[in-house]
C-alpha cells in the first residue's frame, strides 16, 4: 500500500486516490491532456485529471461511486434474500443467525424510536443501515489494491468507498428528505403549513420569522444527515491514504506505517458501524417527526 515515489510525489499520490472516475461532456474546443481538442458540439468521455472534471461541470457522473454503490446494494439484496429462503422454524445458525440478529436489532430500534404506524419504516431502516455499512466497509480495503490493479487495465482513477463521495451521501439524504415532506403533507395536511408558520411564536405577526426559522431547520436536516456521513468517511479515508504514503518514505517507516494501518483499521471498524447506525437512527427520528400531528 505504498505510493510510487519514482513517478508520483506524495501530493500527487493523495490527489490521485481522492479523484473519482468521472464521465461527462467536455465543451467544444477544450484542449485535452493528450494534445487533442474536443470536437464541435463537445465530447462525452472519461475525464483525465481535475481540470477536465471541472470543465465537465454539473452533468459529470462519478462512475466509480455509482457502480460500487449499486453493486453493494445488489450484494445486500442477494445476501438477505438468500437468508430469507434458508430460514426455517428451527434454531438458526451461522449466517442466518447473524442476519436475524441484525433484523431484530433494527426492528427493536424502530419500535423504540418511531412513534407512528408505517410498515415502510423498518424495511427502510434495515436497507439504510446495511447499505451504508457495506459502503463504509470498503474503507478497510488497502487503499492501493483496487486502484493500482485497475490502473494496469487502463483505468486511471478509482474511488471504491461510495460514502466518501458527497453525491452519494447527499443523494441518500435527499431521498430521506423527500419522504419527510411526503409524510408530513400526508399525515398533517394543512397542519404542516401551520406548523411551519405558527411555531414557535403563535401569532400572525410572527409568520415571516416563524417560516424562516422552520424552513432553515427543515433544510438543515438533509444537509446534516448527508454531510456528517461524508465528512467522517472522507476523513477516515484521508488518514488511510496518508499512512499508506509513509511506505514510500523509506525502510525505517515500514514497520510504523504497518502498525498505524492496522491500528487505524481496527478503530475504523467502530467508526463505519457507528456512522451507519447514526444515519439510520436520524432517518427514523426525522420520519417519526413527520408522522407526529400536533
Report the alpha-carbon distance of residue 105 to residue 40 in Å, rounded: 57
Cell triple for 56: 465537465
Active site annotation includes 228: yes
pLDDT-derived band at 58, boundaries 50, 70, 90: confident
Confidence at residue 294, expressed as pLDDT on a 0 to 100 scale: 61
Residue among 32, 194, 199, 228 flagged as catalytic? 228
Mean per-residue pLDDT for 238-244? 90
| pLDDT at residue 4, rounded to an integer | 42
Q: Is 20 an annotated catalytic residue?
A: no
- In angstroms, rounded to a whole number, what is the distance separating the alpha carbons of residues 53 and 58? 9
What span, in angstroms and rounded, lies between the C-alpha atoms of 157 and 224?
29
CB-based contact 68:160 (threshold 8 Å): yes
Q: Which three cell numbers stand for residue 48?
A: 483525465
117 is catalytic: no
* Catalytic member of 4, 97, 202, 224: 224
How are strands ordered across the β-sheet holding 22-26?
A: 43-46, 22-26, 61-62
What's the pLDDT band for 3 if we cut at 50, 70, 90? very low
* Whether the Cβ atoms of residue 47 and residue 60 lie closer than 8 Å to each other: yes
This prediction has a pTM of 0.89
Listed in sequence order, the residues at least 6 apart from 216 whose beta carbon sits closer than 8 Å to its beta carbon are none
For the stretch 157-213, pLDDT in tens is 999 999 999 999 999 999 999 999 999 999 888 888 888 888 888 888 888 888 899
Contact indicator for 176, 283 with CB cutoff of 8 Å: yes
Catalytic choice (97, 232, 248, 288): 232
Domain boundaries, the chain: 63-291
φ, ψ for residue 24 (rounded to 5)? -170, -170
Distance (Å, rounded) from C-alpha 69 to C-alpha 131? 8
Residues 6+ apart with CB under 8 A from 281: 109, 113
Amino acid at each position: 500500500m505504498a505510493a510510487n515515489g519514482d513517478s508520483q510525489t506524495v501530493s500527487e499520490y493523495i490527489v490521485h486516490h481522492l479523484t473519482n472516475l468521472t464521465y461527462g461532456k467536455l465543451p467544444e474546443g477544450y484542449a485535452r491532456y493528450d494534445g487533442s481538442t474536443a470536437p464541435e458540439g463537445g465530447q462525452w468521455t472519461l475525464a483525465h485529471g481535475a481540470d477536465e472534471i471541472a470543465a465537465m461541470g454539473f452533468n459529470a457522473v462519478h462512475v466509480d461511486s455509482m457502480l460500487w454503490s449499486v453493486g453493494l446494494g445488489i450484494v445486500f439484496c442477494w445476501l438477505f434474500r438468500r437468508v430469507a429462503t434458508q430460514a426455517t422454524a428451527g434454531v438458526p445458525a451461522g449466517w442466518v443467525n447473524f442476519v436475524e440478529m441484525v433484523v431484530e436489532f433494527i426492528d427493536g430500534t424502530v419500535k423504540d424510536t418511531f412513534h407512528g404506524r408505517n410498515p415502510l419504516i423498518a424495511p427502510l431502516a434495515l436497507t439504510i443501515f446495511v447499505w451504508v455499512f457495506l459502503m463504509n466497509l470498503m474503507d478497510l480495503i488497502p487503499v492501493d489494491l483496487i486502484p493500482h490493479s485497475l490502473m494496469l487495465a487502463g483505468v486511471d482513477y478509482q474511488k471504491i468507498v461510495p460514502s466518501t463521495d458527497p453525491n452519494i451521501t447527499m443523494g441518500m439524504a435527499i431521498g430521506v428528505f423527500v419522504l419527510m415532506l411526503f409524510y408530513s403533507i400526508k399525515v398533517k395536511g394543512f397542519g404542516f403549513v401551520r406548523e411551519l408558520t405558527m411555531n414557535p411564536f403563535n401569532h400572525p405577526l410572527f409568520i415571516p420569522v416563524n417560516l424562516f426559522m422552520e424552513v432553515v431547520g427543515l433544510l438543515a436536516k438533509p444537509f446534516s444527515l448527508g454531510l456528517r456521513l461524508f465528512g467522517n468517511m472522507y476523513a477516515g479515508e484521508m488518514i488511510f491514504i496518508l499512512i499508506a504514503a509513509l511506505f514510500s518514505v523509506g525502510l525505517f517507516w515500514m514497520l510504523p506505517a504497518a502498525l498505524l494501518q492496522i491500528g487505524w483499521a481496527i478503530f475504523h471498524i467502530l467508526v463505519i458501524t457507528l456512522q451507519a447506525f447514526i444515519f439510520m437512527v436520524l432517518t427514523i427520528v426525522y420520519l417519526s417527526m413527520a408522522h407526529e400531528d400536533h
